[in-house]
């Protein structure tokens, strides 16, 4: 089944969708600055874009969507901006809890959430508990997350696990100590805003991911842009280190 944007435009092959898409949601601040708006307005617009993209992924049959919401380095931003991001996350989670079972959207959180407010931790716990009750698209939200931090934490957990003493360490075993344990690695990583780097995002999991970069700022990212990213992915030859066919 092919999905058309409009006549003669590239098509999306609905039979070859990536199983797992990850997105670095970048460009909120620049989007606001270009409109002479406060950065908080950019984050609010970006939150709406996230809602639309998550809904669209569910509609077309993507199994996993992982988004970079707040990194371990983002604490360096102003207290006002950090507060805005946390308030938006709280607002989103409250709305999601009301609709999760109806919309069949599960949630999991990657990152050290122990430093978040008690209110946010409670909402996170509630959404993850609700997610165990049904099947549906899984949205992984990276909050206070860093790829290097995740790897260090996994190494510490493995080292302290007495049951693994004497057992040869493999990629599969090490992966089981990551936040993403049990979740397939992303097939496609998308970064809007014109930047071309990972910024400490899913360093272990992205070893063989396909990358898609676009100059479109995150608040302007829409269904058509997501289709373009998926079409680019579908036109690639994924060899995982093997020779070209």
Instruction: List the catalytic residues.
Output: 26, 74
| CA–CA distance, 39 with 188 (Å, rounded to integer) | 28
Q: Are strands 137-145 and 2-4 parallel, antiparallel or unpaired?
A: unpaired
Which helix H or strand E contains 198, and what residues bound it?
Answer: none
CA distance 194 to 192: 6
Distance CA(47)–CA(62), nearest Å, equals 19
Q: DSSP states of 146-191 as a string?
A: -HHHHHHHHHHHHHH-GGGTTPPP-HHHHHTTSTTTTSPPPSEEEE
């Amino acid at each position: 089944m092919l999905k058309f944007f409009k006549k003669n435009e590239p098509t999306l092959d609905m039979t070859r969708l990536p199983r797992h898409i990850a997105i670095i949601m970048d460009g909120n601040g620049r989007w606001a600055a270009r409109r002479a708006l406060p950065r908080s307005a950019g984050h609010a617009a970006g939150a709406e874009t996230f809602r639309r993209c998550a809904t669209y992924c569910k509609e077309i049959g993507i199994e996993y969507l992982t988004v970079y919401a707040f990194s371990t380095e983002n604490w360096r931003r102003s207290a006002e901006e950090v507060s805005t991001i946390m308030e938006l996350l709280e607002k989103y989670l409250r709305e999601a809890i009301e609709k999760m079972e109806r919309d069949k959207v599960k949630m999991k959180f990657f990152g050290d959430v122990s430093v978040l407010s008690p209110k946010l931790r409670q909402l996170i716990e509630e959404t993850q508990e609700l997610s165990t009750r049904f099947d549906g698209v899984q949205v992984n939200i990276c909050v206070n997350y860093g790829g290097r931090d995740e790897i260090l934490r996994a190494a510490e957990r493995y080292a302290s696990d007495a049951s693994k003493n004497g057992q040869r360490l493999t990629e599969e075993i090490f992966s089981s100590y990551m936040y993403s344990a049990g979740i397939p690695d992303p097939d496609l990583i998308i970064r809007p805003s014109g930047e071309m780097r990972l910024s400490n995002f899913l360093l272990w999991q992205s070893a063989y991911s396909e990358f898609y970069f676009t100059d479109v700022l995150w608040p302007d990212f829409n269904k058509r842009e997501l289709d373009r990213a998926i079409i680019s992915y579908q036109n690639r030859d994924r060899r995982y280190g093997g020779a070209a066919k």
